[in-house]
């Protein structure tokens, strides 16, 4: 009986630790970008996906894989107030290009950077704020 009382706190600690390990990637890495900005625990860079995508406007892009928040909204244009045209449902998505002169997106790393991609659910093309991407987005070419 006394052994049970001694083991109960250990079991609770083990359960709490296991629960943290099961958090979704977005919750587990919510601070990855600010840490990278400070030079500690730098985020891995987006990488060449090895394939192309052609936008509805007829331009073909060499796309890059990046880790991102999921789900995250895809906006029709740069700016959090623009119409949402779809959602990125996965936390590893491709991005075609970036702009660095968009409206402030709330990021301390690249505050005016927005990246073009295609929504997973609607297949509409649009823009995602850099603050929703964990990877360093410098390798993604300018639009």
Which tens digits make up the pLDDT trace of 23-74? 333 333 233 333 343 344 567 999 999 999 999 999 999 999 999 999 999 9
β 60-67/92-95 pair status: antiparallel
DSSP string covering 41-76, please? Answer: SPPPBPEEEEEEEE-TTS-EEEEEEEEB-SSEEEES
Q: Is 52 part of any domain? A: yes
Predicted TM-score (pTM) of the model is 0.71
Structure tokens at 40: 């500690």
Q: Is 83 part of any domain? A: yes
* Arithmetic mean of pLDDT, 13-18: 37
Q: Is 104 part of any domain? A: yes
Q: Is 138 part of any domain? A: no
Residue 94: domain span: 47-132
- Total domain count, the chain: 1
**What pLDDT shows up at residue 43?**
77
Q: Is 58 part of any domain? A: yes
Q: Is 66 part of any domain? A: yes
How far is residue 7's CA from residue 20's CA, in Å, rounded to a whole number?
20
């Amino acid at each position: 009986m006394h052994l049970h009382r001694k083991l109960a706190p250990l079991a609770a600690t083990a359960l709490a630790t296991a629960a943290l390990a099961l958090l979704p990637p977005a919750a587990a890495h919510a601070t990855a970008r600010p840490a990278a900005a400070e030079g500690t625990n730098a985020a891995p860079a987006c990488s060449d996906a090895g394939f192309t995508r052609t936008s509805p406007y007829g331009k073909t892009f060499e796309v890059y894989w990046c880790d991102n928040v999921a789900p995250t909204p895809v906006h029709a244009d740069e700016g959090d107030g623009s119409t949402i045209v779809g959602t990125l449902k996965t936390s590893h998505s491709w991005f075609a290009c970036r702009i660095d002169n968009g409206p402030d997106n709330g990021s301390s790393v690249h505050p005016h950077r927005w990246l073009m991609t295609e929504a997973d659910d609607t297949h509409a093309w649009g823009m995602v704020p850099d603050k929703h991407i964990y990877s360093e987005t410098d390798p993604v070419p300018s639009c």
